[in-house]
Amino acid sequence: MSINERQPELISSLPGKWIAAFNAHDVASIVSFYHEDAELNDAGMKYPRHGEKAIEAWFTQRFSTMPTITYTPSEYIVVTDQRAVVTWTTHGRSPVPGKRTWLNWLSRPFHVDGVSVFMIEDGRIRSQRGYYDHLAVIQQILPPLRWLLPVRF
């Protein structure tokens, strides 16, 4: 589902605007939603990003290596003046090593469900945390890992 009339509370909210900018790969707009000293932390990051410059560098790199990545928000959304929780599915294709076009055949599709928690202060994002199954993404883009690292319950 895209942001649509079934989710009017998300369309006009800060997270809704963030998702629209993310899907447009509009780094300048994304960064404008954060406080100057905001923190961005995601399950796929080795360490959190602090401040606008680090957040800008993160999204610039992310869109450069994954030009097809998008978010589709789910039905479960909680939005208040101080916090927003949005469940989503992200889709895209894995990066190509060294951005060499002759290796495009190595790029693999992926999708994973997750949740983002936005802490909002004075109408801007103070902190954001994203949670998803990073191993599931890796297993999708590197199929042999399915046999090496099987999921056991």
Q: What is the pLDDT of residues 110-147, one digit of tens each?
A: 888 999 999 999 999 999 999 988 777 777 777 655 55
Task: Tell me the three state secondary structure of residue 5.
Answer: coil
What's the pTM value of the predicted model, to 2 decimals? Answer: 0.80
Calpha distance 74→91 (Å, rounded): 13
Q: What is the pLDDT of residues 50-63, one digit of tens each?
A: 999 999 999 999 99
Confidence at residue 65, expressed as pLDDT on a 0 to 100 scale = 83
Calpha distance 51→56 (Å, rounded): 9
Q: Domains in the chain, ordered, with CATH? A: 8-148 (3.10.450.50)
Calpha distance 124→5 (Å, rounded): 24
Task: Tell me the two tokens of residue 134.
Answer: 């990073």
Confidence at residue 92, expressed as pLDDT on a 0 to 100 scale = 83
Average pLDDT over residues 81-100: 81
Task: Tell me the two tokens of residue 115.
Answer: 């949740």
